[in-house]
C-alpha cells in the first residue's frame, strides 16, 4: 500500500542532497536536485576518463548505460530492448515522430489541449508541408482530455494520437490509460509525452497502452540534465524508420548495406555521455528504491497542502485544473507578471518557474492565459519550505 514518506525519511533523503541545504527549490518540474550519490557516480566516471583515457574508460561507461537501460525498463514496466537512452524529452519524442515517415494530405493528428509546444512545433512543420491537419481533442468539464470525445472524432485518416500526460503549465493529470484504450481499440499509433510523469507517477506502459512514451530524467527522477528515455513498444518498432542513422543505430554489414538495429537502440547516437548515464543509473536506482508509488503519495500530499494554503492568500489565483492532480501548482498574483514573481522570489533564494504561452499554447490560449507562475514540489519538499514560499508570495501579493 503506497504511503507518504515519514518526515524522518524525507530528512534523510534531504541530507543526501546538497541542493536541499543551499536553496529553496520549487522548480522540480524544470529540473530537480540530484543526490550526492548521483553526483559521485558522474564524478567517478569523469575521473576514469581523465586517468585512463575517455575511450579506454568506455567499457565501464557502457556497463552503466546498460544498467540505466535495465532500470528504466523496470521503472516503466517495459523490456530493456524497448528503451533508448536520449538527451531529453524532445530528443526522443522528435526522433520517434520523424520516424513515422512523410505525411500525406488529408491525414489527421489528434492532440490533447495540453500538448507540449515543442511537440506541436515538430508536428506542425511536417503536417503543414504535407497538407495534414492537427486537431484538438475536446476536454471534459474538469479540463482533462475526454476519451469519449476522442472516440467520436476517429476515422481512417487519423494516423496519430498525441497526449501530454501531465501538462507543463499546471496540476492536471490526463487520463492516459483511458485514451490508450481508445487508441488500441482502433489500432491508431499513440504517443505519450510523459516528461512530467516519469518518476512522479507510477508509469506502466502496458497499462497506458502507448506505442511511444518519452521522458527527460532531470525532473522528478532527479537524474542529470541532458538525459532522457524513449520507450517504443516492441511490435511498433518496425513501423519506425529513424530520419537519420549512424554507426551505432545502423552499422554497415559485410555487404556494405546499413543494418538497422532491431531494438530501440536504433534511436540512439553512437557518441553519448557515459558520465551522465552513470548518474542516471544511480538516480533510477534511488527512485526504484523509494518506490514511485510512495513518491506519488508524498508529492500528492505536499502539493495538496501547498495548493490549499496558496488559494487562501488574497490576490492569488490557483490555476490548476483536473480531478486528479500532480505536483505542479500553477498560480498568478493579481497585477504581477509571472516572470517578475519568479525574479522576486529568486532574490529571496526561492526558485519557482514561470511559463508563457509557447510551452502549452493550445491550453493557454483556450483559457485566455498569457503566463503562469509555477511552484512544483518533490518528495524532498518540506513544510518549512512551503512556509517560506507562502511568506514570499504573501509579501508580493500585498505590495
Ligand atoms: C510536458 C513537457 N514536455 C516536454 C518538455 C521538454 O523537455 P526537454 O527540454 O527535455 O526536451 C517539458 C519540459 O519542461 C515538459 O514539461
pLDDT above 90 for 199? yes
- In a 3-state reduction of DSSP, which class is residue 302? helix
Strand partners of residue 139: 145
Rg (CA), the chain: 21
Residue ranges in 133-273 assigned as alpha helix (H): 147-153, 176-186, 205-208
Give the largest Cα separation in the chain, rounded: 74
pLDDT of residue 3: 87
Evaluate if pTM is beyond 0.95.
Answer: yes
Please give the average per-residue pLDDT across 228-255, as a whole number. 97
361 C-alpha vs ligand 1 centroid, how far in Å?
Answer: 14
Parallel, antiparallel, or unpaired for β 328-333 and 316-318? Answer: antiparallel
d(CA 228, CA 280): 9
CATH level 3 topology of 7-34+292-398: 3.90.1150
Please give the average per-residue pLDDT across 156-185, as a whole number. 98
299 C-alpha vs ligand 1 centroid, how far in Å?
Answer: 19
Per-residue pLDDT tens over the stretch 100-149: 999 999 999 999 999 999 999 999 999 999 999 999 999 999 999 999 99
pLDDT of residue 399: 82
**Which of 29, 113, 90 lies closest to 373 in space, CA to CA?**
29
**Which of 199, 265, 259, 200 lies closest to 230 in space, CA to CA?**
265
The fraction of the chain above a pLDDT of 70, given in percent, is: 100
d(CA 20, CA 37): 14
d(CA 68, CA 274): 10
Please give the average per-residue pLDDT across 46-69, as a whole number. 96
CA atoms within 13 A on the CB side of 228: 26
- In a 3-state reduction of DSSP, which class is residue 211? coil
d(CA 221, CA 195): 10
Query: Is 214's C-beta closer than 6 angstroms to any atom of ligand 1?
Result: no
Query: Is 195's C-beta closer than 6 angstroms to any atom of ligand 1?
Result: yes
Query: Is 72's C-beta closer than 6 angstroms to any atom of ligand 1?
Result: no
d(CA 144, CA 140): 6
Say if CB 217 and CB 229 are below 8 A apart. Answer: yes
Say if CB 158 and CB 187 are below 8 A apart. Answer: no
Query: Is 321's C-beta closer than 6 angstroms to any atom of ligand 1?
Result: no
Mean of per-residue pLDDT scores for the chain: 97
Q: What are phi and psi of 375, to 5 degrees?
A: -105, 120
The fraction of the chain above a pLDDT of 90, given in percent, is: 99
d(CA 59, CA 278): 12
Helix or strand holding residue 332 (H, E):
strand 328-333
Nearest CA to ligand 1 atom 7: 89
Helix or strand holding residue 63 (H, E):
helix 58-76
Locate the ligand 1 atom nearest the alpha carbon of residue 88 and give its number: 10
d(CA 248, CA 270): 5
Strand partners of residue 351: 25
Q: What are phi and psi of 20, to 5 degrees?
A: -70, -20
Nearest CA to ligand 1 atom 16: 168
pLDDT above 80 for 47? yes
Query: Is 326's C-beta closer than 6 angstroms to any atom of ligand 1?
Result: no
d(CA 34, CA 219): 10
Nearest CA to ligand 1 atom 12: 195
pLDDT above 80 for 78? yes
Say if CB 48 and CB 60 are below 8 A apart. Answer: yes
pLDDT of residue 2: 83
**Which of 298, 317, 261 lies closest to 83 in space, CA to CA?**
261
Helix or strand holding residue 8 (H, E):
helix 7-15
Query: Is 189's C-beta closer than 6 angstroms to any atom of ligand 1?
Result: no
Torsion of CA 158, 159, 163, 168, to 10 degrees: -110
Query: Is 196's C-beta closer than 6 angstroms to any atom of ligand 1?
Result: yes
CATH architecture entry for 39-289: 3-Layer(aba) Sandwich (3.40)
Query: Is 190's C-beta closer than 6 angstroms to any atom of ligand 1?
Result: no
Alpha carbon separation from 111 to 76, 134, 138 (Å, rounded): 23, 7, 9
Q: Which of 31, 91, 118 has the most ligand 1 atoms within 8 A of CB, as the residue to mutate?
A: 118
Domain ranges of the chain: 7-34+292-398, 39-289
Please give the average per-residue pLDDT across 179-189, as a whole number. 98
Query: Is 360's C-beta closer than 6 angstroms to any atom of ligand 1?
Result: no
pLDDT above 80 for 1? no
Per-residue pLDDT tens over the stretch 277-324: 999 999 999 999 999 999 999 999 999 999 999 999 999 999 999 999
- In a 3-state reduction of DSSP, which class is residue 247? coil
Question: Residue 258: pLDDT band by 50, 70, 90 thresholds?
Answer: very high
Nearest CA to ligand 1 atom 2: 195
pLDDT of residue 163: 98
Say if CB 188 and CB 161 are below 8 A apart. Answer: yes
pLDDT above 80 for 225? yes
Per-residue pLDDT tens over the stretch 328-385: 999 999 999 999 999 999 999 999 999 999 999 999 999 999 999 999 999 999 999 9
Question: Residue 161: pLDDT band by 50, 70, 90 thresholds?
Answer: very high
d(CA 164, CA 150): 14
Strand partners of residue 230: 84, 214
Amino acid at each position: 500500500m503506497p504511503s507518504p514518506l515519514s518526515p524522518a525519511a524525507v530528512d534523510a533523503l534531504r541530507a543526501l542532497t546538497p541542493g536541499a541545504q543551499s536553496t529553496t527549490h520549487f522548480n522540480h518540474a524544470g529540473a530537480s536536485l540530484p543526490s550526492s550519490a548521483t553526483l559521485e557516480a558522474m564524478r567517478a566516471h569523469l575521473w576514469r576518463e581523465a586517468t585512463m583515457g575517455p575511450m579506454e574508460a568506455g567499457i565501464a561507461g557502457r556497463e552503466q548505460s546498460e544498467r540505466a537501460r535495465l532500470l528504466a525498463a523496470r521503472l516503466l514496466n517495459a523490456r530493456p530492448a524497448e528503451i533508448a537512452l536520449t538527451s531529453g524529452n524532445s530528443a526522443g519524442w522528435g526522433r520517434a515522430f520523424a520516424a513515422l515517415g512523410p505525411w500525406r494530405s488529408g491525414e489527421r493528428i489528434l492532440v490533447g489541449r495540453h500538448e507540449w509546444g515543442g511537440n506541436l512545433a515538430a508536428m506542425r512543420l511536417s503536417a503543414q508541408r504535407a497538407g495534414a491537419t492537427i486537431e484538438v481533442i475536446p476536454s471534459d468539464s474538469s479540463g482533462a482530455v475526454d476519451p469519449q470525445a476522442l472516440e467520436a472524432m476517429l476515422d481512417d485518416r487519423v494516423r496519430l494520437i498525441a497526449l501530454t500526460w501531465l501538462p507543463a503549465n499546471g496540476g492536471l493529470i490526463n487520463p492516459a490509460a483511458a485514451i490508450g484504450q481508445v487508441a488500441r481499440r482502433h489500432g491508431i499509433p499513440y504517443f505519450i509525452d510523459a516528461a512530467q510523469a516519469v518518476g512522479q507517477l507510477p508509469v506502466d506502459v502496458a497499462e497506458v497502452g502507448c506505442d511511444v512514451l518519452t521522458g527527460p530524467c532531470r525532473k522528478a527522477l532527479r537524474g542529470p540534465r541532458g538525459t532522457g528515455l524513449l520507450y517504443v513498444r516492441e511490435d511498433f518498432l518496425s513501423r519506425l524508420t529513424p530520419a537519420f542513422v549512424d554507426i551505432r543505430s545502423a552499422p554497415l554489414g559485410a555487404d556494405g548495406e546499413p543494418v538497422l538495429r532491431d531494438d530501440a537502440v536504433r534511436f540512439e547516437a553512437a557518441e553519448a555521455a557515459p558520465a551522465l548515464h552513470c548518474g542516471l543509473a544511480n538516480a533510477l536506482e534511488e527512485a526504484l528504491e523509494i518506490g514511485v508509488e510512495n513518491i506519488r503519495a508524498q508529492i500528492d500530499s505536499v502539493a495538496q497542502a501547498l495548493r490549499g494554503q496558496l488559494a487562501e492568500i488574497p490576490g492569488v489565483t490557483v490555476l490548476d485544473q483536473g480531478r486528479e492532480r500532480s505536483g505542479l501548482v500553477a498560480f498568478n498574483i493579481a497585477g504581477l507578471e509571472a516572470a517578475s514573481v519568479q525574479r522576486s522570489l529568486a532574490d529571496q533564494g526561492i526558485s519557482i518557474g514561470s511559463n508563457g504561452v509557447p510551452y502549452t499554447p493550445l491550453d493557454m490560449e483556450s483559457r485566455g492565459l498569457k503566463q503562469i507562475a509555477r511552484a512544483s514540489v518533490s518528495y524532498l519538499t518540506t513544510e518549512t519550505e512551503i512556509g517560506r514560499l507562502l511568506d514570499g508570495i504573501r509579501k508580493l501579493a500585498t505590495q
